[in-house]
């Protein structure tokens, strides 16, 4: 009998509910009517903001509880779909989307799955379509904390693993399927008077024809 693999994200959303709140930063400049796929829609924070822009949004998440929360946040909207799905096995036709938003999602995958996910993103994007990427940088204060499962990938006590990227690594990951650029953003998180350096890499990549 195959052992059941527990989904740490399902546990997180089932226990905490709306994990993500507050304003959406760095929302992609997308136009009304564009077909957008959000990977890891979570409880609907970015999903709802994209709908406000007038985009036709499809959100997926590997957690059933997350998709339920996302639907409850945007239940009054008519243009938008939410489904339980894996970023490595996207249940969509080739060229189905104008843009894919992957904010802090690819970094939660294993190395081999990160490559598969990028190939899947390229498949479902139309030629010239855009991937909006963000992931944590190795400059972030959390890099190195937790149990290392792969180089620069560390799991917290809740079982959620995070990979910390370099800019060159992000460029290499998107490879020949995309052209574009990325950059590192840094800021300070202050907790009880103590400052912690945060750092993420964001990028905008277009699928090559």
pLDDT digits (tens, 9 = 90+) for 54-83: 999 999 999 999 999 888 876 645 557 999
Please report which confidence band the pLDDT of residue 120 belongs to, taking 50, 70 and 90 as the band edges.
Answer: very high
CA distances to 24, 56, 111, 126 from 32, rounded to whole Å, are: 18, 8, 35, 17
Of 52, 51, 41, whose CA–CA distance to 101 is shortest? Answer: 41
At 82, which helix (H) or strand (E)?
A: strand 80-84
Q: What are phi and psi of 174, to 5 degrees?
A: -75, -30
pTM: 0.91
Residue 75 is predicted with a pLDDT of 61
Mean pLDDT of 41-65: 92
Question: Which residue carries 């180089």 as its tokens?
Answer: 151
Task: Give me 110's structure tokens.
Answer: 């294993």
At 14, which helix (H) or strand (E)?
A: helix 8-16
Q: How many other C-beta atoms are found inside a 10 Å radius of the C-beta of residue 131?
A: 26
**DSSP tag of 6:** P
pLDDT digits (tens, 9 = 90+) for 153-191: 999 888 899 999 999 999 999 988 999 999 999 999 998
Of 90, 181, 86, 88, whose CA–CA distance to 133 is shortest? Answer: 181
């Amino acid at each position: 009998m195959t052992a059941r693999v527990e989904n740490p994200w399902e546990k997180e959303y089932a226990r905490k509910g709306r994990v993500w709140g507050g304003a959406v930063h760095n929302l992609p400049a997308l136009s009304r009517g564009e077909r957008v796929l959000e990977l890891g829609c979570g409880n609907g924070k970015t999903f709802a903001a994209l709908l406000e822009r007038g985009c036709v949004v499809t959100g997926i998440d590997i957690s059933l509880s997350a998709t339920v929360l996302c639907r409850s946040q945007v239940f009054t909207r008519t243009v938008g779909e939410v489904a339980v799905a894996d970023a490595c096995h996207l249940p969509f036709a080739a060229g189905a989307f104008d843009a894919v938003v992957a904010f802090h999602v690819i970094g939660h995958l294993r190395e081999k799955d990160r490559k598969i996910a990028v190939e899947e993103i390229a498949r479902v994007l139309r030629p010239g379509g855009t991937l909006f990427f963000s992931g944590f940088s190795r400059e972030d204060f959390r890099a190195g904390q937790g149990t290392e499962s792969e180089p620069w990938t560390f799991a917290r006590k809740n079982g959620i693993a995070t990979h910390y990227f370099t800019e060159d690594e992000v460029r290499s990951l998107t490879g020949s399927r995309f052209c574009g650029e990325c950059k590192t953003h840094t800021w300070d998180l202050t907790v009880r008077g103590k400052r912690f350096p945060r750092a993420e890499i964001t990028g905008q990549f277009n699928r090559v024809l």
